[in-house]
């Protein structure tokens, strides 16, 4: 009887061990799957607005329970778009018109119609394994900026006013500007003018601001949502040849990473982001030297998209 009791006990322990191992194995698989599903790498190109909006994406995704890694200020679109396609990043903010013209080889399909341009963009992006989520009301187009003194001296109000003087003026912008159909190349073609010289600077950042301020360039390629333009009293020339298309800010993401939950979270953010809001956030970063993450978090809190207890990145 003693032997029988020990054998029975042994059988019970073996059975219990088997159950524990089964539960542990199931738990391990589930945890691994959760980690794999929960990792998102948020990237950005190389100017303030991009880092602000990318921080917004990172903060709301982190609040939704995702493990977020950030890779900001990676470089121009020529660097960041391949990083998305190669899987080095999973999502970053884009602009509907410019991205469409990048993917279609400058075919001129982008227009001022946001919905039509976004539809064409999605068709192009699908072929590359990229999901285009909902565009925000906020737009940020390329724009030509001069100092108040230059505007008054040459009677400049519209971009077309530059034509009579372009041969004597130095144009400054990001290094890739001469090759882009919506940048220097596009302005010279659309307005039938040629500038005296192009000087490669940064992406409408401090180097460009200093060059415009000290007179080493006469015309600067900047972005229409930059609050520093008004702060400095500079003049944003009116676009009168309809060169620039709809440029709504839009999250773009790898197909293999996007989920319904991620799409819902980022689309809710985009729905509240206006041109006025991003212009003010840009001003805080560019003029007041505020931290992009801090202004992104403050705006999300005010917009009701982030809780007070959200963990900072």
As a whole number, mean pLDDT of residues 53-60 equals: 98
* pLDDT recorded at residue 68: 97
Residue 311: predicted pLDDT: 54
Per-residue pLDDT band for 21 (boundaries 50, 70, 90) equals very low
> What percent of the chain is modeled with pLDDT above 90?
86
Structural domains of the chain in order of their starting residue, each with its CATH number? 35-139+253-302 (3.40.190.10), 142-236 (3.40.190.120)
Q: What is the pLDDT of residue 308?
A: 74
pLDDT at 7 over 50: no
Residue 127 has pLDDT above 90, yes or no: yes
- Up-side HSE of residue 233: CA atoms within 13 Å toward CB? 6
pLDDT of 313 reads 54
Q: Mean of the pLDDT values across residues 104-114?
A: 96
pLDDT tens digits along 258-296:
999 999 999 999 999 999 999 999 999 999 999 999 999
Q: What is the pLDDT of residue 187?
A: 97
In the chain, which residue ranges form alpha helices assigned H by DSSP?
2-38, 48-63, 77-86, 96-103, 114-126, 148-154, 184-190, 206-214, 228-231, 260-272, 275-286, 292-302
- Average pLDDT over every residue of 59-82: 97
Taking the C-alpha atoms of residue 118 and residue 124, their distance in angstroms, rounded to an integer, is 10
Tens-place pLDDT, residues 143-201? 999 999 999 999 999 999 999 999 999 999 999 999 999 999 999 999 999 999 999 99
pLDDT-derived band at 1, boundaries 50, 70, 90: very low
Please write the tens of the pLDDT for every residue from 213-229.
999 999 999 999 999 99
Give the DSSP per-residue string, 205-242: SHHHHHHHHHTS-SEEEEETT-THHHHTT-EE-B--S-
So what's the pLDDT on residue 230? 96
pTM of the predicted model as reported, rounded to 2 decimal places: 0.85
Average pLDDT over residues 61-65: 96
Residue 36, pLDDT > 70, answer no
DSSP single-letter state for residue 204: S
* Average predicted confidence (pLDDT) for the chain: 89
Q: What is the pLDDT of residue 310?
A: 55
Give the pLDDT score at 264.
Answer: 98
């Amino acid at each position: 009887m003693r032997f029988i009791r020990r054998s029975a006990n042994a059988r019970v322990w073996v059975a219990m061990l088997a159950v524990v191992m089964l539960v542990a194995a199931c738990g391990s698989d589930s945890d691994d799957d959760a980690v794999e599903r929960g990792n998102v790498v948020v990237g950005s190109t190389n100017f303030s607005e991009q880092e602000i909006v990318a921080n917004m994406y990172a903060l709301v995704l982190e609040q939704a329970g995702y493990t977020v890694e950030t890779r900001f200020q990676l470089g121009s679109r020529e660097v960041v778009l391949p990083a998305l396609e190669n899987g080095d990043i999973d999502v970053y903010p884009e602009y509907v018109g410019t991205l469409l013209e990048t993917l279609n080889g400058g075919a001129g399909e982008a227009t001022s119609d946001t919905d039509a341009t976004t539809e064409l963009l999605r068709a192009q992006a699908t072929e590359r394994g990229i999901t285009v989520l909902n565009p925000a009301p906020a737009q940020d187009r390329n724009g030509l900026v001069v100092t108040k003194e230059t505007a008054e001296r040459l009677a400049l109000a519209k971009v077309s006013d530059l034509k009579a003087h372009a041969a004597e003026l130095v144009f400054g912008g990001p290094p890739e500007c001469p090759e882009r159909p919506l940048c220097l190349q596009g302005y010279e073609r659309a307005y039938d003018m040629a500038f005296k010289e192009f000087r490669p600077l940064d992406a409408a950042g401090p180097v460009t601001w200093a060059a415009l301020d000290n007179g080493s360039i006469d015309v600067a390629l900047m972005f229409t949502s930059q609050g520093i333009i008004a702060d400095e009293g500079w003049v944003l020339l009116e676009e009168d040849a309809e060169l620039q298309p709809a440029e709504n800010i839009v999250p773009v993401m790898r197909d293999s990473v996007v989920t319904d939950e991620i799409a819902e979270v980022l689309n809710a953010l985009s729905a509240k982001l206006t041109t006025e809001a991003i212009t003010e956030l840009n001003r805080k970063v560019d003029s007041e030297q505020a931290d992009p993450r801090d202004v992104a978090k403050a705006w999300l809190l005010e917009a009701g998209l982030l809780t007070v207890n959200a963990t900072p990145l």
